[in-house]
Amino acid sequence: MHQDSHQSNPISQRSSMTTAANIDKRINRGQFYDAHQVLTSYISRLTARGKRDEAASLCADFALKFAAKEQYGLTADLAITLIDLWKEEADRLPCVTAERLETIVALFQACPPHSTKEKYRFINKAIKWTSTTPLEGQEGAESPYPNGHPMLHTAAGKAYWAEKDFGSAQLHLVFGKDGCDL
């Protein structure tokens, strides 16, 4: 049974809420590096206890909070950690879901043009993950998209285009979800 589906301990829930509140306070004070360090340490502890879903949720939520404060490098770092958590699901077969794709695109798009090159490291890692991971509900253990999910290629292609890196844009848009993006 997946550990995150067990009833949570009320003390553990309070501890999680307190930790998240402390991280929020640091972010609001502009202590971004400290907030990121506390968060990554907490994510590691959650992961070690088998609470990957909670850790993944924190990655996504706080990545968006860092983006709102224009801390795009920290946003991309947490987004990369999120992909790693999804890749390493030990107690169930990892799969690509519509919700996960939407989360990836939202995190990627939270980093505007020319904000950080790390966002491309993130989206490329996500593309690679979707090239080897089956879709939710799909029979078999292979991805139907050996080049990565078209939705992610489209997002990457449009971002490169916005930065006027037309060669890189084209490399992604050919695998995008809509040929007329070219």
Per-residue confidence (pLDDT) for residue 103, from 0 to 100: 98
Is residue 83 in some structural domain?
A: yes
Per-residue confidence (pLDDT) for residue 141, from 0 to 100: 75
Per-residue confidence (pLDDT) for residue 29, from 0 to 100: 98
Task: For CA atoms 132, 137, 140, 145, give the dihedral sign.
Answer: negative
Is residue 2 in some structural domain?
A: no
CATH code of the domain containing 152:
1.25.40.10
pLDDT tens digits in sequence order for the chain, 182 residues long:
334 444 455 545 667 789 999 999 999 999 999 999 999 999 999 999 999 999 999 999 999 999 999 999 999 999 999 999 999 875 566 789 999 999 999 999 999 999 999 999 999 999 999 999 999 888 777 899 999 999 999 999 999 999 999 999 999 999 997 654 44
CA separation for the pair 109, 145 (Å, rounded): 22
Is residue 21 in some structural domain?
A: yes
> Which domain does 45 fall in, by range?
13-181
Per-residue confidence (pLDDT) for residue 90, from 0 to 100: 54
Per-residue confidence (pLDDT) for residue 1, from 0 to 100: 35
Please state the domain count of the chain: 1
Would you tell me the crossing angle of helices 72-87 and 98-109 to the nearest 10 degrees? Answer: 160
Beta bridge partners of 96: 135
Structure tokens at 89: 């699901």
